[in-house]
Structure 1
């Protein structure tokens, strides 16, 4: 069985650490990015199976990264994208959907909830 590769971009170090630990324990290979620009650079260098983006990040927001990705000819272009967001407003959800976000998880959430969503998307 091949290991699924996940790009995780979040500017909160504590949350990134927690999610990386949780997902690694589940057997996923995690590449971390600290902001939207780093996420774009990682997407340019490697291919992944799934992308997790925080909505509010320095340099580029998760929505901007997703918009960039969907509009590019990057090999990761059609991957599932999970957006982590503290913004649960309808307009934010619509903006995320318009950008091509597959699904979003509203903060605060449990890491195990994220694992469930990741598994559903990868096994779809």
Structure 2
């Protein structure tokens, strides 16, 4: 059975790129358009890994990560990778403090993305 990845990004193009890279590597992908939608999708699915953007409307990635970590027990230890155009250390530290597992800078290399997902989903 393939592992499930939840991607949370407000860009349709980015969601499509993530889906292509992950499906080609054998993952099942569920998607959300922002943090609020991500929490709704998470409630109805059981992903093995989450990939989230930071800059999104309604609820940003930091708020999303904090909600996942403070939410249902079964989701508290889920690996969460941040995928963002942001790369400054303060934002990375803030994401780690919220509970992020790792950070990938956009634009992403599909091979490196899949490698990162494999590392945290093991």
| Bin for the TM-score computed over the shorter chain | over 0.9
Q: TM-score, normalised by structure 2?
A: 0.94
Quote the offset at 1:73 in angstroms. Answer: 2.4
CA deviation string 1:26-48 (max 9, x = no partner): 11000011111110101111211
Match status 1:102 vs 2:110: no
In the TM superposition, what whole-angstrom CA distance separates every residue of 1:32-81 from its partner, at most 9, and x where no partner exists? 11111110101111211000001111111111111011111242221000
> Alignment partner of 2:108: what SS?
coil
Residue correspondences, number: 122
Counterparts in 2 of 1:46-61, with a 5 A limit? 46-61=45-60
Whole-angstrom distance in 2 between the partners of 1:107 and 1:28? 20
Q: Which runs of 5+ in 2 are unaligned?
A: none
* 1:78 aligns to 2:69 (yes or no): no
What SS is found at the alignment partner of 2:75? coil
Matches of 1:67 and 1:111, distance apart in 2: 27
Tell me, in whole angstroms, the C-alpha distance in 2 between the residues paired with 1:21 and 1:55: 21
Runs of 4+ in 1 over 2 A off after TM superposition: none
Root-mean-square deviation over aligned CA pairs: 1.1
Following TM superposition, by how much is the alpha carbon of 1:16 offset from its aligned partner in structure 2, in angstroms? 0.9
Are the equivalent residues in 2 in contact too, given 1:44–1:74 (CA < 8 A)? no
TM-score, normalised by the number of residues in structure 1: 0.93
SS at match of 1:60: coil
